[in-house]
Structure 1
Amino acid sequence: MAYFRDWDGVTRPIQRVGKTGAEAERRLIKAMKERATPSSDVLSRDSTFTALATAWLITVDESDRADSTKARYRDLTERVLTPPLKEVRLRELSVPLLDRVLQKARSKVGPSTVKTARTVLVQMCAYALRKGALDSNLGEGTETVQIKKKAETALTVDDVKAIRALLVARDESPDKQGRRRYTRISDVADFYAGTGARTNEVLALGWDWVDLDAKTAFLERTLVEINGKVKIQDKPKSDDSRRKVALPQYVVDMLMRRRIQATTGLVFPSSRGTPQQDGNLMRMWSAALAKTPYEDVTPTTFRKAVATLLAAEVGAEAAASQLGHHDVSVTKKHYIRRENLGPSEAREVLGALFAP
């Protein structure tokens, strides 16, 4: 028997019985350790990583996260994190062990996937910490995943027009069977250029969200792929992505033509009238620009070019609002190409100092 100051600050007697004095003492010490760090009914220090993953995924499914995020988190948990840690007890987890798991995964799935997997791991450990099954967030102690940034392709207004011309040429040429092409990717490019919208926002756009009289479009939905199936999610990538954009006249004209010809409720459907997969669009885009100076340009590059050109004309804040970003710093960091220009005053000073 011992007096124990419990987790709520109250001192209480605690007693354990054993066949011998030593056994009773061991049971008493174990009981006090468990009382010192109370765990939930769901998890304890003796729970396996699988039990943690199962409990955490239930909270993810019950959250208001986007369906695509829920599917992504579940996939990474079941495919990357759980297999190597399946039977490991939570009391056996350590930063070196988790670090080793992430490093091994990097050679199989790539740095971008591992970076998201680390985010999942941090959230999972935070959940275990709140339940009293961990003393600290071990996920935060793992090494952050650095992704090598690709060199940006700086597109000018003339480049954007040249790319559009190549896409129009592809659209107006017959397919391999000599038939007229159904999908006009130049129309999608026009919508990119006129709005700066994301690909999946464009492909999820329905005619009910387009007001041709007011020359506006509501970007409130996005296309997601869950378990290999494409569906329209009635929720954008983030709350700030929900926005109304003003449409330039050339985009209105393009949409008017498509509205007259439309046979479905989608603005940019597939040839079967279903939501068009972004992967299929990407293949057609790449084929149109293959063996040209723009073969490395993707729809994302195109969107970044629009952001850069828009920021140069009306400012970064306006570009961020147009692209649906909550923080202008995101737009500046990932979408607006930075030009390191020296101050104009330096020209006069250096010219006066060193002119021959």
Structure 2
Amino acid sequence: MQRNGRTEPEAARILEKALKAKIAEQTGGDLLSPESTIEELAGKWLEELKIKETVAGTLTTYRSSIRSKIIPGIGEVRLREASIPRLDRFLKGLMVTPTAARTARTVLLQMFALATRQGAVNRNPVKETMSISPKKREVKVIALSDIHAMRSLFVAYDEGHTSELHELSMLLMATGCRQGEALAIRWEDLEVDTGVLRITGTLVVDDVTGKLQRQAHPKSEAGHRGLTLPASVLGMLTQRRVESVYPMVFPSSTGTYRWPNNSRRQWRQAIDGTVYEGKTPRDFRKAVATHLDKLVGIEAAQAQLGHGSSDITVKYYVERQREVADFAGVIEGMFESSE
């Protein structure tokens, strides 16, 4: 194909436009082509995720990576130009923040899988880039005495604020649920007669509108669970039920769902300047998992937290005890004289 123009740059632009039109004609205008950019691929891929009904939290994470890392870095690169060395160099440039680099690689891997399916590239170049392993961190869990001390700080904070951190922390301690799950609980999820609380959803922020909404399912399928509540916490909730006027257990002052970010901000303020500064609701979740693991077993911790696999519970939530090799009696025989 060739096109003419008054100048060489103009001829190049006209030719490029004609090529795009030809490709669109051959593909029906809906499929990606080698001339498509990575930004265009990202848009197609996000549309596919919506069709697959990807969890809102995951979709938000992926959108953020695309918006803040991928598009600014390589968004204008055409798919035919997305070589293994180029993508590898881009990802290595993100390694200042390993978590961001790992997320970007995951997103690009799935994006180029779509490009491969649509025939825009012959193979997925991201597969050959350097893998980015998560940094292994040892799980540290705060002691139960520290949890009680923090809850005392919440009582003091609640006296001067509309926060209800003490009661919210009681629920977190009794269930090990995520904060978003706790704030999404409605009275219809509580069976007062049996003392069972159903975890049926979580709070998410719509990535497009920026509005808070209740997602009708937890973070994962395994997150759907029923939890029998301790008597003290069931009593607290029963009293709140009597005094409630809204359908949610922990409503905002205006009767809407309470923003998790606001609750986390109040949490930080309550422990600011203390030895517990930096501790979060997730520390309560880890404490519940470790306590159950010690007394009942890892399967109990997995079920309580709503994980699909105990591997996740062990890796991120349970503090492992250092095992002591006790073979001193056997080894003592080595010191005995053969005479």
TM-score (norm 1): 0.79
Partner-residue secondary structure (3-state), 1:273: coil
CA drift at 1:155: 2.0
- From the CA coordinates, give the structure whose radius of gyration is larger: 1
The whole-number CA distance in structure 1 between the counterparts of 2:252 and 2:178 is 17
Identity %: 37
- CA separation of 1:277 and 1:142: change in aligned 2, threshold 3 A: farther
Change (3 A) 1:39 1:114: farther
Cα distance between partner residues in 1 of 2:234 and 2:78: 60
Q: Secondary structure at 2:251's aligned position in 1?
A: coil
Residue in structure 2 matched with residue 215 of structure 1 by the alignment: 195
What SS is found at the alignment partner of 2:273? coil
Residue 162 of structure 2 corresponds to which residue in structure 1? Answer: 182
Contact 1:156/1:305, CA 8 A, preserved across alignment: yes
Cα deviation for residue 106 of structure 1 reads 5.0
Does 1:49 pair with 2:33? no
* 1:85 counterpart = 2:74: yes
- Once residues 199 and 288 of structure 1 are traced to their aligned partners in structure 2, the CA distance between those partners, rounded to angstroms, is 16
- C-alpha RMSD of matched pairs (Å): 2.4
Q: Quick check: 2:185–2:249 contact (8 Å CA) kept in 1?
A: yes
Q: Give secondary structure in 2 for the equivalent of 1:321.
A: helix
Give the match for residue 49 of structure 2.
Answer: 60
Q: In the alignment, which residue of structure 2 is the partner of 1:164?
A: 151
Looking at structure 2, the residues matched to 75 and 290 of structure 1 have their Cα atoms a distance apart, in angstroms, of: 29
Shift of 1:63: 1.2
Q: What is the aligned partner in structure 2 of residue 199 from structure 1? A: 179
Output the amino acid matched with 1:184: E
1:47 Cα offset (Å):
2.5
SS at match of 2:327: helix
* Pair 1:169–1:90, CA change in 2 (3 A): same
Q: Scaled by the length of structure 2, what TM-score is found?
A: 0.83
CA offsets per residue over residues 124-154 of structure 1, 9 Å max, x none? 0111122222222222222333554566443
Cα deviation code 1:17-47 (max 9, x no counterpart): xxxxxxxxxxxxxxxxxxxxx9896022233
Count of residue pairs the alignment pairs up: 308
Q: 1:304 is matched with which residue: 276, 281, 286?
A: 286
- Compared CA separation, residues 273 and 114, structure 1 to 2 (3 A): farther
Structure 2: which amino acid aligns with 1:127?
L
1:166-188 deviations in whole A, cap 9, x for unaligned? Answer: 222222x32xxxxxx32211111
Tell me if structure 2 keeps the 8 A contact 1:39–1:133. Answer: no
Whole-Å separation in 1 of the counterparts to 2:75 and 2:141: 46
- Residues of 2 paired with 1:260 and 1:352: CA distance? 69
1:237 paired residue number:
219
> Which secondary structure state, in structure 2, belongs to the residue aligned with residue 339 of structure 1?
coil
The runs of 5 or more residues in structure 2 that have no matched partner are 1-25
Q: Cα deviations across residues 185-214 of structure 1 (Å, max 9, x unaligned)?
A: 111111111111111000111111111111
Q: Distance in 2 between matches of 1:350 and 1:156?
A: 36
Separation in 2 of the partners of 1:156 and 1:50? 48
Report if the CA contact (8 A) 1:39-1:131 is conserved: no
CA distance in 1: counterparts of 2:241 and 2:278, whole angstroms: 32
2:329 corresponds, among 332, 341, 348, to 348
Tell me what 1:103 maps to.
92
- What is the aligned counterpart of 1:277 among 259, 262, 287? 259
Which segments of 5 or more consecutive residues in structure 1 lack a partner in the other structure?
A: 1-37, 175-180
